[in-house]
Amino acid sequence: MARNSKVVPESKKALDVLKYEIAAELGLPVGKQMSLNADTEFATELGAIPSSSVKEDYWGHISSRDTGAVGGRITARLIQRAEETLFSL
């Protein structure tokens, strides 16, 4: 059994969108295409993130601390959404 197999394989696209949304909120220069949030585009216009450093789905230039922050926020947001769903039942 693969260690990184998803329980719900259809969730990959939604998790990718969430990953890039959170990365944009943190101001990390990753993903042009998947980032549906305008924060990355706005940051490149302001010069906070050089547009040349924004790569397509490449995270090799991001520190472990920052990628861990993205993962932590994804987990927190998923837990928050699950709690909201449980409390609305």
Kindly report whether the global pTM for this prediction surpasses the value 0.75.
no
Across the strands, what pairs with 36? none
The first and second tokens of residue 11, run together, are 């969730």
Higher pLDDT, 83 or 31: 83
> Which tens digit of pLDDT belongs to each residue from 16-34?
889 988 998 998 888 754 4
Give the pLDDT of residue 82. Answer: 93
Q: How many CB atoms lie within 10 A of CB 40?
A: 26
